Structure 1
Amino acid sequence: MQTLQRRIEAGDYPPGTLLPSENQLIQEFGVSRPTVVAALRMLREQGWIDSQQGKGRFVRGRPALASLEQSRPGHAYLTSAETPSAELLEVGAVALPNRIAALLDLPPKSKAFLRRRLVSRGDEPSEIVSLWLPLDLSEGTNLTSAEPLAQGIREHIQARKGVRFDHVIEQITARMPTSDEVKQLGMPKNTPVLDVYAAVRDPGGRPLAVLAVVLPADRHELEDAYPIG
């Protein structure tokens, strides 16, 4: 999907032209038909292309709302370097919570790699960011180091492990904080938190990682934008 977006922006596929067929994209990228169909559906929903029954998919161009895609929490934590001011709370192999196990398609209570940091904005704790990985993906990386990553998580893991981050499925839920979260975030115990779960998958849909971000609800506002055409 990102490659097609870049080609549209570069003018390789000008507005009004016919996009390559599903079969052509399957052959070029070496992925399954469901993956191609899902990418094309997302491009259509975001306003990059339009579908005409019996004719194919036509390029519309870069949508006006495309720049707002970068504001999604999961994307920001995957692509940005770690802030030096963040405090490392926990790192190592730990038992998986049920929800994270389901998102990684691993057995409940099995072990996975966890890197958890407390991020501050200004002088105030802002969020708790937890990166969960299958153990084999954490080996040979710098994720066990107490030093902050100088590059984004996505870039680091892809370079070290040869995997490809293709898409993210993001879920947001609300709940009351745990006693540890109240203490770490310096927040009232009766204030809810938002849980942002960003499940990262490869082009074939295989789970690669999960980012779980805990946000005090009184300090954050999440915004999204999408076309209605």
Structure 2
Amino acid sequence: MPITVLLVDDEPLVRAGLRAVLEAQPDIEVTGEAADGAAVIPLVRQLRPDVVAMDVRMPLLDGIEATRAVLRTVDDPPKILVITTFENDEYVYEALRAGADGFLLKRARPAEIVHAVRLVAEGDSLLFPAAVRSLAAEYGSRAARAAMERAALTEREAAVLRLMARGLSNAEIATQLVVGTETVKTHVSAVLSKLGARDRTQAVIAAYESGFVAPA
């Protein structure tokens, strides 16, 4: 079965470009388009896409609120890949905190766009750690540090979280730690559970905000 994608962007040229790139792949199918976040929930319920590629800044309902709405109201929600022009945009950080699974720059090369969709569809979050680090200190808090301390991660879980924070996928983490991918998945699940995180993106954000992973 192909990976199904819903494109959400208020610029028709951007949607056309993404559609051309994605539909050139045999394993990806664009099933719908929307020009604003306000149209996302009805389309998600109708089309049941695997991934929503969503612009962050839109005139009626932006990508942050659209992400929150999808995750709050849709059963078994799709993965959300937010799209932005600037990687250090605070909107991006807020979208990730809201539950988006990763983000992609509009200037990304076609191969990077395809890779991003596949990676997010598989459940590995896509992050640009440099951009996240640049904003992390601003959002750091005592509450985040206390939550990280309460999590009491094991040494191996801590190592996995640090590699997640570098943007590595499960397979890449397995290579780094010389263990099997299923073992990594077990550690990732334990990290998410202990941190109370919905997904690995939120776990990585917690790592930065708590100071567990220091901004470079």
**TM-score w.r.t. length of structure 2:** 0.28
Q: Which has the larger radius of gyration?
A: 1
- RCO comparison, higher one (Cα < 8 Å, 6+): 1
Larger relative helix fraction? 2
TM-score, structure 1 as length reference: 0.27
